[in-house]
Amino acid sequence: MPQFAHLFSPLTLRGVTLRNRILSTGHDTTLPTDGTVNAALIEYHRARAKGGAGLIVTQVAGVHETARYTSHLLMATSDACIAGYQALAEAVHAEGCAIFSQLFHPGREIMESADGLLAVAYAPSAVPNERFHVMPRALPAALIDEIIAGYGNAARRMRQAGLDGVEVVASHGYLPAQFLNPRLNLRQDAYGGSDANRQRFLAQVLQAIRAATDDGFVIGLRISGGERDDAGLTLNEAVAATIALEPHLDYVNVTTGTSASVGGAVHIAPPMAFAAGYVAPDAGVFKRALKVPVLVAGRINQPQIAEAILTAGQADMCGMTRAMIADPEMPNKAARGALDDIRACIGCNQACIGHFHRGLPVSCIQHPQTGRELAYGTLPPTPSPKRIMVVGGGPAGMKAAATAAQRGHHVTLYEAAPHLGGQALKAQLLPGRAEFGGIVTNLTREMELAQVTIRRGVRVTEELVAAERPDAVILASGARPYVPDLPTDGQIQIVTAWDVLEGKVTTGAKVVVADWRCDWIGPGLAERLTRAGAHVTLAVNGTHAGESLPLYVRDTLAATLQGLGVQIVPYARLYGTAGDTVYLQHTASGAAIEVSGIDSVVLALGHHSVDELSDSLQAMGVAVQMIGDCLSPRTAEEVVFDGLRAGVAV
C-alpha cells in the first residue's frame, strides 16, 4: 500500500473531483491592495496549485458593504471583481487544482476601517464584542434581506468567473455563527427564539447561493466545532446546526475557536504550543453525524499527520495551509516520498498571521519567497558560477548558502561551532518552542540538496580567506547577548539568557528576568525557571509581555504565565542592583520600582553584532556582503530574508 494511500486518493465534492485530500484553507494574505484580486495573489495561489494542492479556498470575500472588517478585504459586491477572480481561477486550474472562494460577513467582528474611523457594526442583536470592543447594532429585517441577497450575488460572480464553488464562513464567531448562537442572538422574530429560527439566516443564504448558481456548483460551510469561549457556540450546537443545514451543503469544513475573545482567537492560527492535528477529534464528531464530506484544519503541518487523521475516519480532507505557506511544494514532495525534503511549518506565526495583524503581506520566516512570488518565485541561474565563502552557520548563512548554490555557485559554508543553527538551537530549548529547531533541520536539508560544502568547527580568519581566495564572502557571523554596564555591588548574580539555556548557571529561588526585547525569550525564561521551582518576576520594558510577538503567540504565553503565577511588571527598565534588591525604573513616569530578596537577574536585553572580519576583508579587496545579526540583530524572519537576498545578489 502506498505510504499516503488516503491523502492522495481523489475526493468528489458534488460535481468537482479533487486530485487529493490536501486543502489550502481560506486565509487573509493582505496581498490585494484595492479590494480586488491582483497579480501578487494570483502568483501566490499558483505556486501552491503547482506544488500539488488538491483544493484552494481563497480568502474571504465581502458580500455586503457592511462586511468590511479590515481595510484590505476582497469584495464581491460588484461585477468589477469578476475579471480578477477569472484570472485567478485560470491560473489555478492550469495547474490541475480546484478553487473555491470564501463568502463572508463578520457581523460584529470588525477589526478596523479603511480611514481610521470606527465602523457601524451589525449583528443579530446588540451584544458587545469583547476582543475589538465593538457594540453592534441589531440588524433590521430589510438589511438581513440585503445581506442574504449579497451572498447569492457574490456566488453568481464567482461562478461567472469560473470558480468551482464557494464556502460560507460560519466559523470563528462571524455573522452566521452569531445567528446560530442563542447567547448572541436574542431576537424574537423569524430569525431567533428557537433553533429552527436561528438557523433560518444560514438556510436562506445557502438557498440564495444555489438559486444564483447551478446544480454543479459546490457549496460548503466552514464552522467552528465549538468556539472555545464561555459565550461561544458549543460543539453540540454546531453539529446540530450542520445536521439541519446538510440538505443545502456539499461539505462541512471544521475548525475551532472564535474571533470574539482573546482566548478563543488563538485557535484561528494556533501556534506551536498546540498539538498537531488537535482539532481532528472534533471533526470526527461531525463526520459521524453527517453524510456529506467533512474537512478539518488545525496545525496539520505534515503529511503523516494528515494521513493518520484520514485513516482514523475523522475527516475526508485536511487543511494544511501553513504547511504550504512554509513549503508550497509539500504535496508534490510527499507524493514522491521525499519527506526529508519537506520544509515543515514550525507554527511560529511570525510572518503569516503575524503579518496580517500588522497589515502586511503574508510570508514565512523559513521561506521568504512566500508572498514575494513575483520577485523571488524563480531563482535566476547565475551566468558565471563563482566560488562563494559563507561565514556563519546560523539561519542567515544557511539560507544564503543554499540560495547561492541553487543558482549554480560553488558555495562553502564555515561554522566555528560543532553544530549548525546559531541562536535557533537556543530558541528550541525554551518551553513550548521545541519545534523552532525545525528551521535548522529544514535549512540544513536545503543546503544538502543544493550541494553546499559545509565545514563545521572552523573559525574563519583573514589567513583562511587569503588561502581560499573566494570570489565573494557572505558574512553571517551572528551576535552575542548584550550586557550593559549596570551599577551593582555584586551581591546579586547577573547572568544572560544564554547562560541559563546552556545550563551554565544556577539562578536560585528568586529571580528577576529583565526583558527589553519584549519577545518570546523573556516569557520563555520566566516559564522555564518557574517550572523549575523559582519565584520569577518578569520585568518588561514595554507595555506588556510579548509586546513584539504575533498576537496568538503572545496571548498563549500570557495565559501560561498567568496560570503559573509569574509576576509581570510592565513599563520596567532595568537600572541596577544593590544588596538583594533589583532596581527598576518606570519607563513612563521615571519612578523607581524595587524588587527585593532576589538571588539572580537574568538578562534578556537583546544582542550586539559580532563582526570581526568585514573591515579587514574589504581592505584585502574581497567582495563582502554582511547579513543577519552581524549586520544588525533582529529576528529569524529578517535574517533568513537577508540570506535569500544575498544568495540572489551574489
Query: Domain-by-domain residue ranges, the chain?
Result: 11-375, 382-481+609-649, 493-605
DSSP string, 578-647: ETTEEEEEETTT--EEEE-S-SEEEEE--EEE--SSHHHHHHTT--EEE-GGGTS---HHHHHHHHHHHH
Output the nine-digit C-alpha cell for 12: 468528489
Q: What is the pLDDT of residue 1?
A: 46
Q: Report the distance separating Cα 470 and Cα 410, nearest Å.
A: 10
Q: Pick the closest to residue 257 from 248, 268, 249, 247 (CA basis).
A: 268
State the catalytic residues. 174
Q: What is the pLDDT of residue 115?
A: 78
Q: Over 60: is that where the pLDDT of 136 sits?
A: yes
Q: What is the pLDDT of residue 437?
A: 94
- Eight-state DSSP code of residue 134: B
Contact between residue 201 and residue 174 where contact means Cβ atoms under 8 Å apart: no
Q: Report the distance separating Cα 206 and Cα 152, nearest Å.
A: 8
Contact between residue 73 and residue 349 where contact means Cβ atoms under 8 Å apart: no
Q: Report the distance separating Cα 45 and Cα 87, nearest Å.
A: 11
Q: For 52-72, what is each residue's pLDDT tens digit? A: 999 999 999 999 999 999 888
- Eight-state DSSP code of residue 560: H
Helix (H) or strand (E) holding 536: strand 535-540
Q: Over 90: is that where the pLDDT of 116 sits?
A: no
**How high does pLDDT run on average in the chain?**
96
Domain at 382-481+609-649, CATH homologous superfamily: NAD(P)-binding Rossmann-like Domain (3.40.50.720)
Q: Over 80: is that where the pLDDT of 470 sits?
A: yes
Contact between residue 422 and residue 395 where contact means Cβ atoms under 8 Å apart: yes
Beta-ladder partners of 479: 609
> What's the mean pLDDT in 235-263?
97
Q: For 302-354, what is each residue's pLDDT tens digit? A: 999 999 999 999 999 999 999 999 999 999 999 999 999 999 999 999 999 99
Q: Over 90: is that where the pLDDT of 2 sits?
A: no
Q: What is the pLDDT of residue 111?
A: 85
pTM for the complete prediction?
Answer: 0.95
Q: Over 50: is that where the pLDDT of 171 sits?
A: yes
Q: What is the pLDDT of residue 135?
A: 95
Task: Could you list the beta-strand ranges (E) of 338-446.
Answer: 387-391, 410-415
The residues, ordered by sequence, that sit 6+ positions from 380 with a Cβ below 8 Å of its Cβ are 407, 648
Contact between residue 493 and residue 505 where contact means Cβ atoms under 8 Å apart: yes
Q: Report the distance separating Cα 462 and Cα 478, nearest Å.
A: 18
Q: Over 70: is that where the pLDDT of 628 sits?
A: yes
Q: What is the pLDDT of residue 95?
A: 98
In CATH, the architecture of 11-375 is Alpha-Beta Barrel (3.20)
Q: Report the distance separating Cα 23 and Cα 18, nearest Å.
A: 10
Q: Pick the closest to residue 285 from 314, 312, 257 (CA basis).
A: 314
Output the nine-digit C-alpha cell for 257: 475557536
Residue 552: pLDDT band by 50, 70, 90 thresholds? very high
Give the CA distances from residue 53 to residues 98, 310, 334, in Å, rounded to whole numbers and listed in that order: 9, 16, 11
Beta-ladder partners of 455: 414
Q: Which CATH class is domain 493-605?
A: alpha beta
Contact between residue 286 and residue 242 where contact means Cβ atoms under 8 Å apart: yes
